[in-house]
Structure 1
Amino acid sequence: MPPSPDPEQRLARIGWRAQALPSDVDEVGSVARVVAQHRAGYQLHDGVELYNAQPAARFLKRDLDPTERPAVGDFVLVAPGKPPTIERVLPRRTELKRGAAGESHQRQLIATNIDTVFVLSGLDGDLNPARLERYLLLVQGSGAAPVLVLTKADRSDAVDAIVAELEQRIVGVEIHAVNAKSPDSIAPLLVHLGPGHTAVLVGSSGAGKSTLTNTLLGETRQATAAVREHDSRGRHTTTHRALILLPSGGCLIDTPGMRELKLTGEEQLDLGQFSDIDELAQACRFGDCAHGSEPGCAVQAALADGRLDPQRWRNYLKLRDELAATADTLEAQMRKKGEARVLTKALGKRLNEKYGRH
């Protein structure tokens, strides 16, 4: 790892946005970014070269919160050695996470220090507005901006109609319909991939994440595969998260397709794409309105006159109940461990009090 005459300029190539390096960087070692994690350790990039490193012993403790371990996108302080050792994870600007698959009720980091989340969905049968709303709910608390990317636009005859429908349902989110194989088609995405910027790709297997990555790179580096005809889903051609430096100057994190997309329990339904439903609920005649047959229910009035999409309302209820259950479980686990702090962002209980449970 040869030293760089200008560390901050070197790190800027891999998305460094901090004002200054840590004060003890010279005493401990150097700063690098996690670009991949494997069973055998981590792969880091210091702005000049790629190299392997091992985590310090404290990161391997079984009872350590998984979100405290190094993750793809992290900037870390690395001590020299054979191999180099990750000594510390530097403060994160943003964190995109989900509930871990299975029944563990833990949080899993998808990527850190990102500016944009590209949520990909194919226009060849994979499009699911309710699933997109779930992705956006997860992105909402990350600190990064969501962008919906509808791939395989060359295979659909109803692109304009689909985009118009989504714009009605998902308000205030940038939407692009693209052919991921065409550099001209994906050009509008480059505004999010300039020097110093980092974006992450998320979406189902077969949505075109690897294809888009290859086009942005200008070369075939990520493996791609055909999707199944009956459901437009593909197998996992990307097997692990990886941060890639792009010719545009930005960084891109490609991720495997997600079969399960669980909430963390920290999401806030009364913000983001569901804020209008919260406003409707606040306008009900009775504060404890369950939005059923109560007189003066603003939600039912909006459903009746077409201002509120019934499918969107049903998905809201599903997400609300899931969020409340997840938040309750996490709080119970924390109490069991004797922790005094409260999940300040977990709004499940308050949502139940405000809207009732269906």
Structure 2
Amino acid sequence: MEKITWETLGYESFFQTQTIGKETPVGRITKAGKGFYTIQTPEKAFSGQLSGKYRFEAEVQGDYPCVGDWVLFQPQVGEDKAVIHQRLERRTLLTRHAAGNTYQEQVMAANIDDVWIVSSMDQDFNLRRIERYLMQVYESGAVPIIVLTKADLASDPDRQTAEVEQIAPGVSVYPVDTLQGVGFDSLIEKFTPGMTIALIGSSGVGKSSLINRLVGKTVQKTQEVRAEDHKGKHTTTHREMFLVPGGPLILDTPGMRELQLWGEADGVHSTFYDIEAYSSQCKFRDCSHGSEPGCTVQQAIKDGRLTEERLKNYWKMQREIERLDLKAKYGTHKANRILHRPNSKK
């Protein structure tokens, strides 16, 4: 079994300075679900629950600990149980919009270095979905990496890889065949002890299989995708981190059928900075990128440097963030009334 140390847990100076003068132990949340947490230290793991004071003072869902968080806790005498009293400040935070029509953030993972956006290269291959995931990773403060699984089932892996590279300039893209282990060397050579990686993606794209191969044993259940539509089942129902031998901590997350955005306009700008660059060169400052003369965005589409689909997704994600801004400012009900007014610009 791989020896757990403060280094492999990722206990860096950012967190160490927050515990100066604190008398209670510190540990990292490696598993979370339904009010129970696994708190990992180099010596042992504790089953933790929040103190009553913590619960009372928590105002929103994001105040609660999540996988990847560092917490101060009090062990129970003679037991492997503990009470969590405080969460340390986070360095990065991966979130999404909670399901439903309410204005609420759902925290997915904290203190992540790299986020692997996992997408399969079979019939479920979807560039627009990858763009949505990219926006969320940019919002988190972590580094996005795109991993394309099921390369053995791809109709044209070179073309698909090139298409992903085009919509994600500057982002590393790795096609892999998990069953045969092809493409893993390039991923593993970037591993360093103490780093933390989170995997996000739709159900059935192979996140659990990726983790099993990297860890070297079956730590996550996997199921076959349905042959008729290539959709997978939610085999991962909670969030849990695993230690890769000689490398990082790696976190699996439940698959998502649909990713509702959460963030600000800056995340959209980072995801579509090629469109932003073209826009800055348009003849008219208020160019709508339609039929105006001197539109460099439309010229990029004609030249094959940009696709209509990417431009449409850019507009769509901008509108979603605008809706979020309205909900934050006015509340859900009033925002919905504004959005449904005749001739509303929103």
User: Above 0.5 in TM-score?
Assistant: yes
* Ranges in structure 1 where 5+ consecutive residues have no aligned partner: 1-8, 337-355
Root mean square deviation of aligned Cα:
2.3
Identity of aligned residues (%): 39
Residue 266 of structure 2 aligns to a residue in which SS?
A: coil
* Ranges in structure 2 where 5+ consecutive residues have no aligned partner: 335-343
Identify which of 7, 27, 34 aligns with 1:12: 7
* Alpha-carbon separation, structure 2, partners of 1:109 and 1:116: 16
Matched residue, 2:124: 126
Matched residue, 1:272: 270
Matched residue, 1:292: 290
The runs of 4+ residues in structure 1 deviating greater than 4 Å are: none
Matched, 1:113 2:108: no
Shift of 1:61: 4.2
Identify which of 58, 67, 73 aligns with 2:62: 67
* Alpha-carbon separation, structure 2, partners of 1:191 and 1:65: 39
Matched, 1:261 2:289: no
Distance change (3 Å), C-alpha of 1:285 and 1:184: closer
Shift of 1:229: 1.6
Matched residue, 1:221: 219
* Alpha-carbon separation, structure 2, partners of 1:54 and 1:330: 31
Residue 79 of structure 1 aligns to a residue in which SS?
A: strand
Identify which of 288, 305, 316 aligns with 2:314: 316
Residue 44 of structure 1 aligns to a residue in which SS?
A: strand
Within a 5 Å distance, the mapping from 1:128-143 to structure 2 comes to: 128-143=126-141
Matched, 1:23 2:14: no
Shift of 1:269: 4.9
* Alpha-carbon separation, structure 1, partners of 2:326 and 2:139: 18
Residue 43 of structure 2 aligns to a residue in which SS?
A: coil
Shift of 1:327: 1.7
Distance change (3 Å), C-alpha of 1:105 and 1:58: farther
* Alpha-carbon separation, structure 1, partners of 2:42 and 2:231: 36
Matched, 1:231 2:232: no
Shift of 1:292: 2.2
Distance change (3 Å), C-alpha of 1:102 and 1:119: same
Shift of 1:331: 2.4
Could you tell me the TM-score, scaled by structure 2's length? 0.88
* Alpha-carbon separation, structure 2, partners of 1:109 and 1:249: 25
* Alpha-carbon separation, structure 1, partners of 2:292 and 2:183: 50
Shift of 1:156: 2.3
* Alpha-carbon separation, structure 2, partners of 1:136 and 1:207: 16
Question: What does the per-residue CA deviation read over 1:49-102, in whole Å, with 9 as the maximum and x for residues that have no partner?
Answer: 222011122443497121111010001111233641111111111111111111
Shift of 1:140: 0.6
Equivalent residues of 2:62, 2:106 under 8 A apart: yes
Matched residue, 2:339: none
Could you tell me the TM-score, scaled by structure 1's length? 0.85
Task: Tell me which moved more, 142-151 or 40-49.
Answer: 40-49
* Alpha-carbon separation, structure 1, partners of 2:298 and 2:155: 35
